[in-house]
Structure 1
Amino acid sequence: MAVGAALIVSGLFHLVVFAVDGGPWDGPVSWRKPVTFGLSFGLTLITVTWVATHLALGERARAVLLGVLTADCVVEVGGITLQAWRGVPSHLNRETSFDSAVSTVLAAGGGVLIVVLTAMAVAALRPNPRVTPSMLLAVRAGFATLMAGLATGAAMIARGVIEASAGHQQEAYRVAGFLKPVHAVSLHGVLVLPALAAVLSLTGWHEARRTRAVAAASAAYALAIAAALAYSLLR
């Protein structure tokens, strides 16, 4: 939790830097990246750490997965922040050997992220009698949206790599973010839906009603993802 909070503080700090220093918000070189990645990775780390307590995982397995996730989040945000301060792109950048090394580490970190979160998503599918049906549904639906977010992130990197490999470096930077809206919406369902289930548990509603409410919210979130996908592809 503390590391996640530190990443959020880093994102907010760079928002202040942007306000003072100015420069473009969009593009491969901007303060937007340390801001958005710091906030997103910090919030995701805190969320997944909480949601992991509702998974059918042993204490040791949970600790290992969360430990790897925490280290990976720090490396990802650290690499992106370093490159922002150097004034160079963080992803798809093969201009120098150092830039290439950073880009490779970030890509590998993305792979680690997919492996760890997929393992947790699989664990969410297991029955867990300690968790209410409404919360279990929320966790499962949340991880489903998170998987969609990871898939869109991988698709963006893949498209950028294809363009960069063809020698179109600037085009790679331009097209690599083509799924950013749906990527952003998908990533945070793992927070929104379990948080809703937690709030509903404080009401006087019976469990069946809470489960129906979570199911309706999950369907609405899926529609929001579909709308964001359509916007991403048509804009």
Structure 2
Amino acid sequence: MGALALVSAVGLAVDDRILVGVPIWAKPFKFSVSFVAYSLSLAWMLSLLPRGRRAGWWAGTVIAVASAVEMALITLQVVRGTQSHFNRATPFDDTVFQIMGGTVVVLWLGALVVSLLLLRARILDRAMAWTVRLSSLIALAGAAVGFLMVRPTPEQLATDDSPIVGAHGVGVPDGGPSMPVTGWATTGGDLRVAHFFGMHALQLLPLVLLVLAALAARSVRHPRFPLLARLADERVRLRLALTASAVYAAVFVLLTWQALRGQALSAPDGATLAGAGAIVLLGAAATTLSLRTPLP
């Protein structure tokens, strides 16, 4: 994936072709970079398993192979100058997309096995254990959002033998006005927002815990800061980790709901803003209680 990211970066620089409104090499570049982060995080989580390492090795290997097949097919379609996802224009394109769909299912099932192994694992640090477990489950939910994208849109259902079946956008066609870098739609819903946010819980939630651990270590060197001193208590870190996971999951649900209503990330309505406000208030209250109230 690292090598493919470099190849795709070169493609972005030297190939001026545009596909569905974005540079044709943008998709393999973003996917390969995302898979680098995802795979490294998953490998680290597998290293935490005290038991079931053989099953974890097999699950990780299946994920790696499925990811490689997926990226090979995406790159193949880029070289051919055509769309990889949702493309059923020719029998060959349809076969490529069907194989890609199969690899995604295999990848998801492999990640499910890893999540189940983590749920059963006895990791000594409880804050770390629950962060790893919950982030893997949220990542599974984020990956599952991709299955919503293969549904035909109302416009495609109204057209006999549509060459494209499925879409990232909700209420707007793919390839319209979009945000820079991400390519997410700015005039309608885009399921890739929740898909991206959910899957990268695998990196962001453990990062939160690492920050808490670093602050706790700092409290030992600087005992005059009482707030940092509380972080040295594993029970406080556990409660903060659970709070962060709950807030992350709530934001993921909100982003999915927003996209399904055909609403752009950059144009939230009153209901979306109210939901975001509630998450902020409840998250702040839970964080305050986590710091002030010790666990039994």
| TM-score, structure 2 as length reference | 0.68
Query: Which is worse superposed, 165-174 or 90-99?
Result: 165-174
How far apart are 1:219 and its partner, in Å? 2.3
Question: Which of residues 172, 197, 201 in structure 2 aligns to 1:189?
Answer: 201
Counterpart Cα distance in 1 of 2:22 and 2:112: 28
Q: Which residue of 2 aligns with 1:137?
A: 130
Larger Rg: 2
Q: Which residue of 1 aligns with 2:47?
A: 53
The structure showing larger relative contact order (alpha-carbon pairs under 8 Å, at least 6 residues apart) is 1
Percent of aligned positions with the same letter in both sequences? 27
Q: Which residue of 1 aligns with 2:249?
A: 222
Structure 2: which amino acid aligns with 1:156?
M
The gaps in structure 2 that reach 5 residues or longer are 175-189, 218-231, 265-296
| TM-score, structure 1 as length reference | 0.84
Counterpart Cα distance in 2 of 1:102 and 1:8: 23
Query: Which is worse superposed, 23-32 or 55-64?
Result: 23-32
Conserved 8 A contact 1:181-1:231: no
Q: Which residue of 2 aligns with 1:212?
A: 239
- Aligned residues, how many? 228
Per-residue deviation, residues 18-77 of structure 1 (Å, max 9, x unmatched): 233234475598222111111112211111111122246422111111111111111111
Conserved 8 A contact 1:15-1:35: yes
Q: Which residue of 1 aligns with 2:74?
A: 80
Question: Which of residues 141, 144, 161 in structure 2 aligns to 1:148?
Answer: 141
Per-residue deviation, residues 173-200 of structure 1 (Å, max 9, x unmatched): 5648741111110000011112332343
Counterpart Cα distance in 2 of 1:96 and 1:28: 22
Conserved 8 A contact 2:127-2:238: yes
How far apart are 1:163 and its partner, in Å? 4.0
* Change beyond 3 A, Cα 1:231–1:117: same
Matching of residues 169-180 of structure 1 within 5 Å: 169-170=163-164, 172-173=166-167, 175=169, 178-180=190-192
Q: Which residue of 2 aligns with 1:158?
A: 151
How far apart are 1:221 and its partner, in Å? 1.3
Q: Which residue of 2 aligns with 1:67?
A: 61
Q: Which residue of 2 aligns with 1:8?
A: 2
RMSD over aligned Cα atoms:
2.8
How far apart are 1:92 and its partner, in Å? 2.4
How far apart are 1:11 and its partner, in Å? 2.4
Q: Say which structure is richer in helix.
A: 1
